[in-house]
């Protein structure tokens, strides 16, 4: 299988478009198509904070649900938006406010359409993908080796939020353990969730969230070539949002 897996997009449609063009996809059909039949993968967090979250949903819905030429798995932001669109009382914060503002600017009919699409996209997606005969795993915040193949609540929390301890840093950010250091498996695990200045390879894992929405870049991993391709962000740089130490 030949797949280009893209990090957290967070509404950065322009960078997503630029990155897929750089990867050789054409947008002549209104959504990215590769001439050699490569497909796209998404580590989740399509929306929130960036300027065009709903359009990113439209494209990923078209690819994942309609054409079935991409593999999408949800991130924690997707999970929260899903709960919002189902009518649950969720806190409109941490970036969700921009997606909700786009949504509320639509007509009732427009709202119903995007609501239906996102719910379908989300409900059709597995918690994480195990693909290429078990050689490739795509999971939003990664997955611990002993959790692979499992889907209980502990696994769900890990895949969506990472290896959290329950403690918080002085800036309010949850403490996340560096689970990748302990991963000894053969299958490649491709994930995002924690913005890093450069894509980070540890054992057979890659974190490809290079903080596009915080002014970093949008990164893709070309599999099985294991080549990184990126485009610069158009967003203002927020250095505090990047994790630079792992001890
Ligand atoms: Mn994210």
* Interval between CA 120 and ligand 1 midpoint (Å): 21
Q: What is the tens place of the pLDDT at every residue in 69-115?
A: 999 999 999 999 999 999 999 999 999 999 999 999 999 999 999 99
Of 112, 120, 133, 103, nearest in space to 60 by CA: 120
| 247 pLDDT tier (thresholds 50, 70, 90) | low
C-alpha of residue 95 to centroid of ligand 1, in Å: 10
Q: Residue range 123-135: average pLDDT?
A: 98
Task: Report how far ligand 1's centroid is from the alpha carbon of 24 (Å).
Answer: 25
Question: Which of 1-10, 13-22, 124-133, 161-170 has the weakest average pLDDT?
Answer: 161-170
pLDDT at site 170: 83
pLDDT in tens, 197-208: 999 999 999 999
Tokens encoding 52 = 């065009």
Distance 47 CA to ligand 1 centre (A): 9
**Backbone φ, ψ for residue 175 (5° rounding):** -70, 130
Q: Is the pLDDT of residue 68 over 70?
A: yes
Kindly state the tokens that stand for 215: 């002014």
In DSSP terms, which residues pair with 57 in a beta bridge?
Answer: none
The closest alpha carbon to 117, from 81, 89, 159, belongs to 81
- DSSP-assigned states of every residue in 83-142: HHHTT------TTHHHHHHHHHTS-HHHHHHHHHHHHHHHHHS-SSEEETTTTEEE-TT-
pLDDT at position 174, please? Answer: 83
Tell me the average pLDDT of the chain.
Answer: 97
Q: Residue 23 has which token pair?
A: 């990867």
Q: Per residue in 140-154, pLDDT tens?
A: 999 999 999 999 999
What's the pTM? 0.97
Tell me the CA–centroid distance for residue 139 and ligand 1, in Å.
12
Q: How far is the CA of 7 from the centre of ligand 1 (A)?
A: 8
* pLDDT for the residue 108: 98
3-state secondary structure 173-201: CEEECCHHHHCCCCCEEEECCCCCCCCEE
- Residue indicated by tokens 């990090």: 7
- d(CA 18, ligand 1 centre) in Å: 19
Q: What is the pLDDT of residue 171?
A: 78
Sequence-distant (6+) residues with CB within 8 A of 97 are none
CA of 147 from ligand 1 middle (Å) equals 21
Q: Which chain residues have CB less than 5 Å from ligand 1, an ion?
A: 8, 45
Task: Look at residue 176 in the predicted model and tell me its pLDDT.
Answer: 84
């Amino acid at each position: 299988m030949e797949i280009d897996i893209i990090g957290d997009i967070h509404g950065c449609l322009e960078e997503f478009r630029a990155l897929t063009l750089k990867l050789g996809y054409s947008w002549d059909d209104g959504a990215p198509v590769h001439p050699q039949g490569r497909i796209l993968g998404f580590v989740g967090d399509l929306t929130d904070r960036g300027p065009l979250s709903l359009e990113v949903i439209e494209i990923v819905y078209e690819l994942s649900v309609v054409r079935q030429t991409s593999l999408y798995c949800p991130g924690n932001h997707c999970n929260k938006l899903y709960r919002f669109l189902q009518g649950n009382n969720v806190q409109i914060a941490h970036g969700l406010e921009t997606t909700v503002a786009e949504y509320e600017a639509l007509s009732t009919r427009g709202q119903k359409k995007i609501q239906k699409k996102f719910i379908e996209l989300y409900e059709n997606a597995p918690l994480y993908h195990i693909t290429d005969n078990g050689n490739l795993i795509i999971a939003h915040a990664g997955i611990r080796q002993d959790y692979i193949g499992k889907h209980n609540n502990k696994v769900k929390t890990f895949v969506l939020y990472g290896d959290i301890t329950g403690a918080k840093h002085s800036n309010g950010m949850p403490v996340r353990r560096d689970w990748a250091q302990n991963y000894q498996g053969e299958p490649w695990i491709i994930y995002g969730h924690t913005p890093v200045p450069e894509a980070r390879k540890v054992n057979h894992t890659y974190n490809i969230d290079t903080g596009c929405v915080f002014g970093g870049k949008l990164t893709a991993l070309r599999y099985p070539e294991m080549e990184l391709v990126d485009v610069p962000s158009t967003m203002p740089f927020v250095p505090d949002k990047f994790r630079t130490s792992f001890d």
